[in-house]
């Protein structure tokens, strides 16, 4: 808890929402069409200070989704990057008085760092990584599940710059007794009914050389809404662990019992093809979500869109996984009967998404476009939803219907 922080008053800034019929909302990119009617009706473009108009899924706390058209760029612009909060008390932090406290019963030499000390005291690293909300596409779950009804846009790819968490933990004298490392951000719940957002990582993942304490995103300071001044970057793992406005690190010899680690963000055991385990938090039937599953998205073709026949149509998209790297993307233009190789774009690193493209000359008539990614350890996407009560890990192969 930082005394100097102030709550940001969420002023309705420049509402760009238009009242239109639900069908038109899907057309404007608020979709996809599979979202529940209520979610489409209550969503609109709206503008947070410093951001472009994004798709508002909730206002308090702010949950804003990136329009899919932005995913045609290799990196998602900072002012279009999605915003996800659990608590409505979004902190406004003065970087000159911000401090990061590292302690806990498995830290022999607790310490406190200013931003300048963090930036000058450790080797710096920068790489690309996809930040993807566990619940991205939750709105497409059938049957529907409670929670923010995300479409496809609760994700973004960026270059992250910071220092390795393991270097800071070493300075704090992390001992062999460490089981988990828990992270606290400066946000607060306005009424104390909601538990503080604290997330724990297994000690091995905290000590991974790619887990960063980052202050820069795409060459700029982190935007306010994406964790200014400092956030955790846990590449390969879903964004629930990417603590924003990081203020406290607790190196623990015992598993965290906090709500957001011990009860929330859980998946049924054994149903998803994931490799990484979070053993100290596993129960008989559930386990915390860990790495992202292999997935892809068509980014430039509109579902129900009309395109020219007998003219080359360039299908573009992105594909990603939990950090092994994308091996291939196959594309079908006939609803999944025949699959052909898509062309992969530049490899921006194994934690980045990978752009891909596929060109064909459509015959007149209807076509169902599909894309299916496979990663370097041979794990691919599912055709049938793996239902789970929180709607996580939706990597169902998309079906995009077009008419030519
Ligand atoms: N402090 C803080 N950090 C947080 C959260 C939060 O509510 N508070 N939400 C997490 C979740 S669930 C997601 S999906 C990502 C979203 O990152 P973004 O808002 O920068 O897109 O932040 C993570 N870090
Ligand atoms: Mo999330």
The answer to the question of residue 307 being in a domain is: yes
**Number of domains composing the chain:** 3
Domain co-membership, 260 together with 127:
yes
- Rounded CA gap, 263 and 297, in Å? 30
Going by alpha carbons, the residue nearest to atom 12 of ligand 1 is 240
**Ligand found nearest the CA of 48:** 1
Going by alpha carbons, the residue nearest to atom 16 of ligand 1 is 84
pLDDT confidence of residue 26: 52
83 lines ligand 1 (CB under 6 A): yes
Give the end of a domain, one of 259, 288, 317: 288
Give the end of a domain, one of 227, 258, 288: 288
244 lines ligand 1 (CB under 6 A): yes
- Interior/surface letters 56-84, b for 16+ CB within 10 angstroms, e for the rest: bbeeebbbbbbbbebbeebbbebbbbbbb
Domain co-membership, 49 together with 118:
no
71 lines ligand 1 (CB under 6 A): no
The answer to the question of residue 92 being in a domain is: no
> What domain range includes position 240?
99-288
Domain co-membership, 352 together with 387:
yes
Domain co-membership, 215 together with 305:
no
The answer to the question of residue 89 being in a domain is: no
pLDDT confidence of residue 28: 58
- Interior/surface letters 164-190, b for 16+ CB within 10 angstroms, e for the rest: bbbbbbeebebeeebbbbbbbbbbbee
Ligand 2 is an ion; residues with CB less than 5 A from it: 84, 133-134, 239-240
To which H or E segment does residue 247 belong?
Answer: strand 246-252
Which residues does residue 310 pair with via DSSP β-bridges, in sequence order? none
pTM above 0.75, yes or no: yes
Within 5-75, where are the H helices? 22-27, 37-42
Domain co-membership, 57 together with 177:
no
The answer to the question of residue 345 being in a domain is: yes
Domain co-membership, 284 together with 299:
no
- Token digits of residue 264: 């929330």
Domain co-membership, 246 together with 138:
yes
Give the end of a domain, one of 288, 315, 338: 288
Domain co-membership, 157 together with 251:
yes
Domain co-membership, 216 together with 251:
yes
Those residues of the chain that have pLDDT short of 70 are 1-29
82 lines ligand 1 (CB under 6 A): yes
The answer to the question of residue 328 being in a domain is: yes
CATH of the domain at 190: 3.90.420.10
């Amino acid at each position: 808890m930082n005394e100097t922080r102030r709550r940001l008053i969420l002023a309705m800034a420049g509402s760009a929402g238009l009242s239109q019929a639900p069908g038109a909302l899907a057309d404007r990119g608020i979709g996809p069409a599979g979202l529940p009617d209520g979610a489409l009706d209550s969503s609109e473009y709206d503008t947070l200070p410093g951001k472009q108009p994004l798709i508002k899924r909730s206002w308090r706390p702010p949950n804003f989704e990136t329009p899919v058209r932005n995913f045609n760029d290799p990196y998602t612009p900072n002012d279009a990057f999605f915003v996800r909060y659990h608590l409505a008390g979004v902190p406004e932090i003065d970087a000159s008085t911000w401090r990061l406290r590292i302690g806990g019963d498995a830290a022999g030499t607790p310490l406190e760092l200013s931003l300048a000390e963090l930036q000058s005291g450790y080797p710096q690293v920068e790489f690309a990584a996809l930040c993807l909300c566990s619940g991205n596409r939750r709105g497409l779950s059938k049957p529907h599940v409670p929670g923010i009804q995300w479409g496809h846009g609760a994700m973004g790819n960026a270059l992250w710059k910071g220092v390795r968490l393991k270097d800071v933990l070493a300075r704090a004298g992390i001992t062999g007794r460490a089981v988990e490392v828990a992270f606290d951000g400066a946000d607060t719940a306005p009424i104390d009914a909601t538990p503080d957002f604290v997330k724990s990582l297994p000690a091995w993942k905290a000590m991974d050389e790619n887990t960063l304490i980052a202050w820069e995103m795409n060459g700029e300071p982190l935007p306010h809404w994406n964790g200014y001044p400092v956030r955790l970057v846990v590449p390969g793992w879903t964004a629930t662990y990417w603590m924003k406005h990081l203020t406290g690190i607790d190196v623990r010899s015992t598993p965290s019992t906090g709500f957001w680690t011990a009860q929330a963000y859980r998946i049924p055991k054994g149903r998803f093809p994931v490799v990484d385990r979070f053993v100290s938090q596993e129960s008989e039937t559930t386990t915390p979500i860990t790495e992202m599953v292999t997935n892809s998205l068509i980014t430039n073709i509109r579902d129900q869109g009309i395109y020219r026949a007998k003219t080359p149509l360039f299908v573009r998209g992105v594909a990603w996984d939990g950090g092994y790297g994308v091996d291939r993307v196959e594309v079908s233009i006939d609803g999944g009967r025949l699959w052909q190789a898509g062309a992969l774009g530049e490899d921006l690193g194994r934690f980045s998404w990978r752009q891909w493209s596929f060109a064909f000359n459509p015959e007149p008539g209807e076509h169902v476009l599909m894309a299916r990614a496979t990663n370097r350890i041979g794990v691919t996407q599912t055709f049938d939803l793996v239902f789970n009560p929180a709607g996580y890990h939706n990597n169902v192969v998309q079906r995009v219907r077009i008419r030519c």
